[in-house]
């Protein structure tokens, strides 16, 4: 379900091709996804400059479907995984090194 027009009050069902995991990535089949208050602010058009289109929801539980080439992790198809809202942080900046990864200037977010 994708938000195309904030404040329109509805999400649109959009069929997408299933992506192939790139090297270092995994493909996850989503079983459940939390929708938090920030998502609702975006859907209701209450936040400026949302990245549209967007699929709301960024707290995910699912299972690994496929593992990309060169994956250094021990994840395997069938493994149950959780994915947090904070999808990436650099690990080397002062925020990351002090346990405040949410403030990392190079952070990327799920969803
Ligand atoms: Zn959230
Ligand atoms: Zn960082």
Q: Using the mean position of ligand 2's atoms as its centre, give its distance from the Cα of residue 12 in Å.
A: 34
54, 95, 72, 109: CA torsion to nearest 10: 0
* CB-based contact 32:40 (threshold 8 Å): no
pLDDT tens across 30-65, in order?
A: 999 998 898 888 888 888 888 888 888 889 999 999
Note the pTM of the prediction, 2 decimals. 0.75
pLDDT tens across 87-105, in order?
A: 889 999 999 999 999 999 9
Q: Using the mean position of ligand 2's atoms as its centre, give its distance from the Cα of residue 74 in Å.
A: 24
- Percent of the chain past pLDDT 70, that is, above it, reads 95
CATH number for the domain harbouring residue 78: 3.90.180.10
Q: Which ligand is nearest to the CA of 91?
A: 2
Per the structure, the count of domains in the chain is 1
Q: Which ligand is nearest to the CA of 60?
A: 1
Range of the structural domain that residue 85 is part of:
2-109
């Amino acid at each position: 379900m994708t938000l195309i027009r904030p404040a329109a009050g509805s999400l649109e069902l959009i069929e997408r091709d299933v992506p192939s995991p790139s090297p270092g990535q995994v493909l996850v089949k989503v079983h459940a996804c939390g929708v938090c208050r920030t998502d609702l602010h975006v859907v209701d058009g209450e936040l400026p400059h949302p990245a549209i289109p967007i699929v709301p929801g960024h707290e995910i539980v699912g299972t690994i479907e496929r593992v990309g080439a060169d994956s250094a992790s021990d994840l395997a198809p069938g493994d149950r995984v959780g994915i947090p809202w904070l999808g990436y942080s650099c690990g080397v900046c002062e925020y990351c090194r002090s346990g405040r990864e949410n403030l990392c200037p190079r952070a990327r977010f799920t969803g």
